[in-house]
Amino acid sequence: MAIAFELWGQRGYPHAEVVGESHYGRAIRSLFGKDFKPDGSEVMRPAVLMPESGNPHDPYAVGVWIDGDQVGHLSRTDAARYYPVLIQLLTGGWAPQVTARVWGAEWDDFDGRGAAFRGSVRLDLAEPHLIVPANLPPSESHCLLPSGNAIQVTGEDKHLAELTPFLRPEGECWAHVTLHEIAERAARTLVEVRMDGVRVGRLTPKMSSELLPAIHHLAEQGLTTAARAIVKGNRIKAEVILYVVRAHELPDTWLGDRPPETPQEHAPVPPPPTGVRFAIPPDWPTPPDGWTPPSGWRPDPAWPPAPPDWQWWVLVWE
């Protein structure tokens, strides 16, 4: 049985439209139970996005399921964009899950048949390149802090080489980071930010003080502090932004003997939808005239300078 994987990038306001709800009115109506109000009811529920590779009408169809019942589909356009990432999660044993806003009401069409139920479903769904992190969770015992407001990391300009592998044609991606207490001069302590065990920046003294109590709390339990971060930029300028709650915002349920484990903490990272990407080092010479890439590789048009200077390539999966 697949394990629920809470997709990254959710912002708390479902906006992505689901189509075909009119075919699943009974299932949608059942979600309200006895609390349904004919003039309009709304509930927030977790929804699973299920690729339907056997769908006879669309091989890239993606069904939307709530409480074991289907309530609609992603639009044909959206399904084609999300299918590659979702199918990788599903085949890895993970059920992609997002928050859904479900609305329903009974309207009288004045045709003599009485009131009829109508429902709609919207999803808190980020862009395809932002629904999974770009790297694996930390290998050591750790706890992922809850999501919160943005905190800017400083000093990324000194670690551009370490950040370059995380740069994406879309301009940004999510990644796991770990937070570590470091001692500076004058007995000052700061928070150092690492990705895959490598330093990529640190927090200011003020921002460090907002997170150090949580780091200490986890360290006492033998756990490394992990967090979600956005990496954005290009080859000459990159930045890292944490999205994490401050220590004083942590809920009481999180402050027990062991913080609650997040379902997505051990989730795999599916490959990019178009294939596996790698960068040719910038000090390599320009390929000679007539040179062609290895079999199965082509210039990646998603990265504008790729065709002229041959910097980025993508393996196309047939």
Domains of the chain: which residue ranges? 3-130, 142-266, 277-315
SS3 per-residue string spanning the chain: CCEEEECCCCCCCCCEECECHHHHHHHHHHCCHHHCCCCCEEEEEEEEEEEECCCCCCCCEEEEEECCEEEEECCHHHHHHHHHHHHHHHHCCEEEEEEEEEEEEEEECCCCCCEEEEEEEEECCCCHHHCCCCCCCCCCCEEECCCCCEEECECHHHHHHHHHHHCCCCCEEEEEEEEEEEECHHHCEEEEEEECCEEEEECCHHHHHHHHHHHHHHHCCCCEEEEEEEEEECCCCEEEEEECCCHHHCCHHHHCCCCCCCHHHHCCCCCCCCCCEEECCCCCCCCCCCCCCCCCEEECCCCCCHHHHCCEEEECCC
pLDDT the model gives residue 84: 87
The two three-digit tokens of residue 39, written as one number = 């003039």
pLDDT digits (tens, 9 = 90+) for 58-68: 888 999 999 98
Could you give the CA distance from residue 53 to residue 80 in angstroms, rounded to a whole number? 11
Q: What is the mean pLDDT of residues 266-284?
A: 42
Residue 16 phi, psi dihedral angles, 5° rounding: -75, 125
Closest CA to 59 of 82, 80, 42: 80
Closest CA to 79 of 100, 57, 104, 101: 57
pLDDT the model gives residue 292: 58
Instruction: Report which of residues 49 and 295 the model is more confident about.
Output: 49
The dotted CATH code for 3-130 is 3.30.70
Which range, of 8-12, 157-161, 185-189, 194-198, averages the lowest pLDDT?
Answer: 185-189
pLDDT the model gives residue 114: 64
pLDDT reading at 280 higher than 50: no
pLDDT band at 226 (very low <50, low <70, confident <90, very high): very high
pLDDT the model gives residue 290: 62
pLDDT band at 311 (very low <50, low <70, confident <90, very high): very low
pLDDT the model gives residue 309: 41
Instruction: Report which of residues 274 and 190 the model is more confident about.
Output: 190
